[in-house]
Amino acid sequence: MKKRTMALVMAASFFGAAGCSAENAAAQKIHTESGRVLIAYYSWSGNTRFAAEQIQKLTGGTLFEIKPLKPYPSNYSACVDQAKKECREGTRPELAAKVQDFAKYNVIFVGTPNWWSTMAPPVRSFLSEYDFSGKTVIPFVTHGGGGMANCERDMRKTCPKANFGKAGAFSGGSIRNAEAALKKWVGEAADIQK
């Protein structure tokens, strides 16, 4: 993606992000035990993985990395081009592994980088693959300035049977200094017995 295009994408998604707060405000705080918490995430360059690992430490839940069978190119421009097409088309790439005993989890933190103002396609696959009836999804997003954009909205559309908890959006560039913000948000979203 050309720098100017990226700046426009980010500006558009930043201004779009303001509309997500109403959904967040309505979200109920979830009560559960750590054995019933799954933290599933996709990460291309490590920011969302870092956030997921912090959430794991805070909740005592189980980490699960969402991996596409065919990894995205490690070259940034090639990845951005492929992602642009797939995000536009709503592609659901095949995933490399399944969650063991998915039924036992009732709270699932689902993490994604903001890709073209929506979730990364492997996360779309993940949300489509399991039965989320009666479960609560708590979305978390890392971004390059565009905030939540359409990520939460699109996750809700992809996973209509789930309840949704309070979503969190964090700047990817400063995620390694955001431990206090992550802790605050997890505390607002969920009350977890260890």
Ligand X SMILES: Cc1cc2nc3c(=O)[nH]c(=O)nc-3n(C[C@H](O)[C@H](O)[C@H](O)COP(=O)(O)O)c2cc1C
Binding site for ligand X (CB under 6 A): 9-10, 13, 43-49, 79-80, 83, 113-117, 142-146, 172
Nearest-approach distance from CB 32 to ligand X, in angstroms = 25
- Closest CB to ligand X: residue number: 172
Nearest-approach distance from CB 105 to ligand X, in angstroms = 22
Give the H/E segment covering residue 142. strand 136-143
Question: Beta 163-164 vs 168-171: how paired, if at all?
Answer: unpaired
Structure letter (DSSP) for residue 90: T
Nearer Cβ to ligand X (112/163): 112
At 179 the three-state DSSP class reads helix
Nearer Cβ to ligand X (81/131): 81
Nearer Cβ to ligand X (65/129): 65
Pair 83, 120: CB distance under 8 Å: yes
Nearest-approach distance from CB 101 to ligand X, in angstroms = 26
Q: How far apart are CA 51 and CA 172, in angstroms?
A: 9
Nearest-approach distance from CB 191 to ligand X, in angstroms = 27
Q: How far apart are CA 161 and CA 132, in angstroms?
A: 6
